[in-house]
Chains A and B, each alone.
Chain A
Amino acid sequence: MRVSVDSVGLMAPGMAGWDAARSVLRGEQTLDRQQLPTFRPNLLPPNERRRTTALIKLALQTAEDALQHNRYSMSELASVFASSEGDGEVVDRICQSLTLPERPVSPTHFHNSVHNAPAGYWAIASHSRQFSTSLAAGAYTFTAGLIEAATAATLQQQPVLLLCYDSALPPALAGRGYVDTSFATALLLSGQANAAALGSLRLELKAGSTRLPALSKELEQLREHNPAAASLPLLVALAKEEGTDLSLPYHDELAVQIGIDV
């Protein structure tokens, strides 16, 4: 299967936006992990934005970053939202409210607690009624999201926005899940070759385990703490504008081979 990467979005510690992040990914600038992006997605009107959470803002701002130079209208885009944990902050608030005598679960927290809450806000903001799915695959969430999005883009012949994102879990759950730092990336994929694309990906599944591709020490630390950062070897290749072959684990018995052509 072959798909074009039309554009990329990135929001991570020390990498606020794809344009700014490329020099870090190319190794020309050191990663400053203390520098956290501030989230103010403009896609949502202020009254909707107030009802959202850090995770929803992270996802939407990453979408915005990917879409700033794209050729499609947002309402045409299908989408795949891939997140390992969903919204830990909302779960924490709901579970804390269960310990109070009247157990006052907030209705807003409850509707924000669904795994597809960021996708719901995205649809409202983009006016897209197209296909959208929200998925999880633990440590392999990026790989699963990439295959899902590429498959939909190819078979349904429409551009698909893949968002893969997770926020650090709240203190009570820290260290118990797969995520301890925030990281989000977006890839706008289409099934058709496109001269303006950043590159194209040849995808294959292969039985058996695979080792993680090498990364610089500072990027490796991000990858260890967020499944969305499994995308980093691919993002490095796209930032360097270098064709290469990568293998990413899908789980311990399956791997995705990615041939990157730029």
Chain B
Amino acid sequence: MKSIYQILLIGSLLAGIAACENETKVCDQTLSTNLHINFKRDSAGIVRDTIMPKVTAFALGHDSIYKVQPLSNVFFQLSPVADTSRFYLKVDSTLTPDTLTFRYKRTTHFISAGCGFGTYFLLDTVIATRHTIDSVQINIKSVTTSNDTHLTLYFFNQ
């Protein structure tokens, strides 16, 4: 009988331990899903990833995301309240900047109890000026995680 009481006590401790995880207090996922863009350029007949020497980028009318820095990838946050976002992209200080226009559909997504809600995007159209950009390739239309490479920009050899 004594051992039964001991087991009852252990059970009450188990009940306490099981109750310790409060999922509304923890947000272990990123709230924003960024559009991931990769740079490529033709080099001696082979198209390969390239580092653009002085990248400056920002959404039109907003602060800089990147300011004169060498990059081979950029991540753009699309607007959660509009169906179009426009970005300025200059890949070298001596080159003419380009403008990228993204048109997309938005869907609200529940991330987790701790994080709340976020937005998923489905790319519809990408329009780019052709000063330094040779072509644009959409790899993945659905922007649900920043881990995927959604877009590849091919640059002219200058």
Co-assembled chains A and B: no
